[in-house]
Amino acid sequence: MINTELCEMLGIKHPIIQAGMGPFGTNKLCIATANAGVLGLISSSGVNSRDTMPEIYKYFIGTAGATLDDDKPAVLEKIFRQTFEGTREKRGIFGLNALVATEERGNAEVIIDAAIKAREDNPEMKERFRVMFTSAGDPMPWGEKIKGAGFKWIHVVPSVKGALRCQKAGVDVIVASGHEGGFHTAWEPVHSMVLLPAVVEALAGSGIPVVGAGGFCDGKTLAAALALGAAGVQMGTRFLATKESDFAPLWKDSVVKAKDRGTLVARGFVGPARWLRTEPSQRHAERTLQMSPGVYLGKPDDFATIPSELIIGELEGLNAVFDGDEDVALMAAGECAQRVTDLPSAEELVQRTVSEASEILTNLPQRLLA
């Protein structure tokens, strides 16, 4: 057993967070990871994909038993209830990932309000639906609503500057997300080996636990994060490739098959994104270089000037995953895909990650300090 301040604060058994991975659903995955003793996160942004990514939307609502007749609050309510019921026996702890980018403000309000209502309607839900995890935006406007409702609040940042802003906003736990990570990356990215200790140092004495994200996928990397001063890790790509994960079979298998240098960065919706290296993603990277070069220069493009064919190509690429069309499919994943070689259950994955990390941490002093 490894016990950290993250475990104490959230009431989880192991210092691991299963990442939110919207707009794709993580409804079933969240139940499996929460039952395995880590923090499970529901991804919410799929609820806004009805018109733009109909395949993703249908899949997202389908795994929670919702239908096309349900409106957003009704879909979310079904997801929360399903997660609550699915984690009842093992008393799993879960949370919700909500994007709070400025342009998403209206959508974020609907999502967070639905979560607050679900908890208010059911005191037992409140006990285990403990966390609001916000990302992709400024935390400052959200503190009153989230903390006022009694959530533990986690926010993800790509920089020390972002971490200090979280401290000011009253965030309870900060996730430092390095450039290795899957899907959206920062405009001016820093890798985990530099970012994580820098954020830990910047927050020293604050009492705010820091969690590493980007590249963490096993006991070795968990032990390394703890050695760098983290209170735990968040894993996205690794949990994507598990038996219970809601991701399409083509996507999971492609992560498992990824080899050395198996990812690349190209445009993805709102900015740079890390994709599995495939023929479609290499074509997409070439188009990005021509039509949205800011992705590679660290300069946000003016969204209005990006040619629509680039954006349409991304939407088609994501929808194609669900049809199993490898010639068009675009699949996001982190660099650690090259270290993912199987599709375990969430429980198996958590157990082996924690025992490997414990063994490393136990043996290191003997190995090095004797």
Cβ at position 45, least distance to ligand FMN in Å: 5
183 part of the interface to ligand FMN, by CB under 6 A: yes
Which region, judged by CB under 6 A, interacts with ligand FMN, from 48-56, 117-125, 213-221, 306-314?
Answer: 213-221
Pick one of 15, 25, 137, 182: the residue that binds ligand FMN (CB under 6 A). 182
Q: Which is nearer to ligand FMN, 204 or 256 (CB)?
A: 256
Exactly one of 64, 213, 224, 241 binds ligand FMN (CB under 6 A); that residue is 213
338 contributes a contact to ligand FMN by CB under 6 A: no
Phi then psi for residue 66, to 5 deg, are -90, 165
Rounded to a whole number of angstroms, the minimum distance from the CB of residue 245 to ligand FMN is: 10
Nearest Cα residue to 129 out of 170, 190, 85:
85
Residue from 27, 35, 48, 97 in contact with ligand FMN (CB under 6 A): 97
Order of strands across the sheet that contains 263-268 = 183-184, 271-276, 263-268
Binding mask of the shown chain, residues 119 to 158, with x at each position contacting ligand FMN by CB under 6 A: ----------------x--------------------x--
In the complex, the smallest distance separating the C-beta of residue 273 from ligand FMN, rounded to whole angstroms, is 9
∠188-193-197 over CA atoms, to 5°?
95
Closer residue to ligand FMN (CB): 25 or 92: 25
Binders of ligand FMN among residues 261 to 280 (CB under 6 A) are none
Radius of gyration (Cα) for the chain, nearest Å?
19
Look at residues 55, 45, 29, 136 and name the one whose alpha carbon lies nearest to residue 318.
Answer: 55
Q: Which long-range contacts (CB under 8 A, 24 or more apart) does 69-75 make?
A: 72/47, 72/48, 72/110, 72/111, 72/114, 73/110, 73/113, 73/114, 73/117, 75/47
Query: C-beta of 99: minimal distance to ligand FMN in Å?
Result: 6
Is 180 an interacting residue with respect to ligand FMN (CB under 6 A)?
Answer: yes
Tokens read off for 106: 């209206």
Is 210 a binding residue for ligand FMN by CB under 6 A? The answer is no
Q: From CA 115, how far away is CA 109, in angstroms rounded?
A: 10
- Which of 37, 162, 181, 268 touches ligand FMN (CB under 6 A)? 181
Among 15, 20, 272, 313, binds ligand FMN (CB under 6 A): 20
Contacts of 240 (CB under 8 A, 6+ apart): 21, 182, 247, 251, 252, 255, 333
Q: Does 281 bind ligand FMN (CB under 6 A)?
A: no
- C-beta of 134: minimal distance to ligand FMN in Å? 8
The answer to whether the beta carbons of residues 206 and 240 sit under 8 Å apart is no
N-terminal to C-terminal alpha carbon distance within the chain: 24
Task: Count the site residues for ligand FMN by CB under 6 A.
Answer: 30
Coil, helix or strand at residue 185: coil
When the beta carbons of 146 and 333 are compared against ligand FMN, the nearer one is: 333
| Shortest reach from residue 133's CB to ligand FMN, in Å | 7
- Select from 107, 237, 242, 353 the one that contacts ligand FMN (CB under 6 A): 237
Contact residues for ligand FMN (CB under 6 A)?
A: 19-22, 24, 43, 45, 97, 99, 135, 156, 177, 180-183, 213-216, 234-238, 240, 332-334, 336
